[in-house]
Amino acid sequence: MLAIYKRELKSYFQSMVGCVFIAFLMVFTGIYFMAYNLMSGYPCFSYTLSGSLIVFIVGIPLITMRSFSEERKNKTDQLLLTAPVSLGKVVMGKYLAIVTVIAIPNVIFCIYPLIIKSQGTAYLMVDYISILVFFLLGCVYAAIGMFLSSLTESQIIAFISTFGILLVLYLWDGILSMLPSSALSGLVGVLIILSVAAFYIWQMTGNAVLAGAIEIIGAAAGIITYIVRSSLFENLLSNLLGRLALANVFTDITSNSIVDITGIVLYLSFIAVFVFLTVQAIQKRRWS
């Protein structure tokens, strides 16, 4: 694992991608820092960071796009997969290298609150926690990007799809506000999600009985609940899907100074799920 980690990290800085990412993030944050903290005298660095969030949406796909797609295209994955190293370690090695690249600018960010403090009042606790959560959010985005990169041979497709998904996640709140809130639409939404899940199960297992049973039982349960207590379905969709607005955990800290521990757990679970899915995606390709 260490060998892969070292090689990856080195290659990020040899191929300039890592440098470009860090420079990009530093320049943007620097501009916001100048504008908000130094020029306007606002004492919270966390607010500056929330402006830099948009850089992640472009920057993270940039560093994750090549992680697996390039290996696959150049067939160098043959070296990794025939070496006496387990696949999980290969994926972890690569993921940790990406995380390290994301960590570097975040470590540098730790200086900024001190600069503010040297000029007057600073809210160090909030600022440092926001930097940590900002870093974790980057790690979640990186896990998603790495997963998408493992699905394709083309770096361009990996970049575009990761960028698209991160952008949708960024705009998620706005999209959710367009969803209807009535109980009936909640039911319809649940049924649609259920059908998609059943279809996916059918595709994966090829077992029509199992998928059909899940669909029918789920639909029946949903409809009965709706008849008994329709109020449960009110705002269900936006509540359910609202969990996916990952950046909210971070913006809560930056705008309201509220730290949501469950949100941090959510981040860690997202990372675990996508790293696991990456391993599975590569395994699947070996078998098909």
Count of residues engaged in binding other proteins, rule: CB under 8 A: 24
Measured from the CB atom, is 6 or 229 closer to other proteins?
6
Q: Which stretch binds other proteins (CB under 8 A): 5-13, 96-104, 141-149, 213-221?
A: 5-13
Nearest approach, Cβ of 137 to other proteins (angstroms)?
A: 30
Q: Is 4 in the site for other proteins (CB under 8 A)?
A: yes
Nearest approach, Cβ of 69 to other proteins (angstroms)?
A: 15
Residues from 219 through 258 that contact other proteins (CB under 8 A) = none
Residues from 7 through 46 that contact other proteins (CB under 8 A) = 7, 11, 14-15
Measured from the CB atom, is 84 or 120 closer to other proteins?
84
Q: Is 3 in the site for other proteins (CB under 8 A)?
A: yes
Measured from the CB atom, is 5 or 226 closer to other proteins?
5
Nearest approach, Cβ of 67 to other proteins (angstroms)?
A: 13
Q: Is 100 in the site for other proteins (CB under 8 A)?
A: no
Helix 183-205 × helix 208-228 angle, to 10°: 170
Q: For residues 87 and 265, what is the distance between their CA atoms, to the nearest angstrom? A: 25
Q: Is 119 in the site for other proteins (CB under 8 A)?
A: no
Q: For residues 269 and 283, what is the distance between their CA atoms, to the nearest angstrom? A: 21
- Phi/psi zone of residue 120: left (φ > 0), alpha (ψ -120 to 50 degrees), beta? left
60 to 99: interface string for other proteins, x by CB under 8 A = --------------xxxxxxxxxxxxx-------------
Identity at 139, one-letter amino acid code = C
Q: Is 203 in the site for other proteins (CB under 8 A)?
A: no
Question: Pick from 168, 228, 197: which is nearest to 189 by CA?
Answer: 197
Nearest approach, Cβ of 222 to other proteins (angstroms)?
A: 37
Measured from the CB atom, is 14 or 269 closer to other proteins?
14
Residue numbers at the binding site for other proteins (CB under 8 A)? 2-4, 6-7, 11, 14-15, 74-86, 286-288
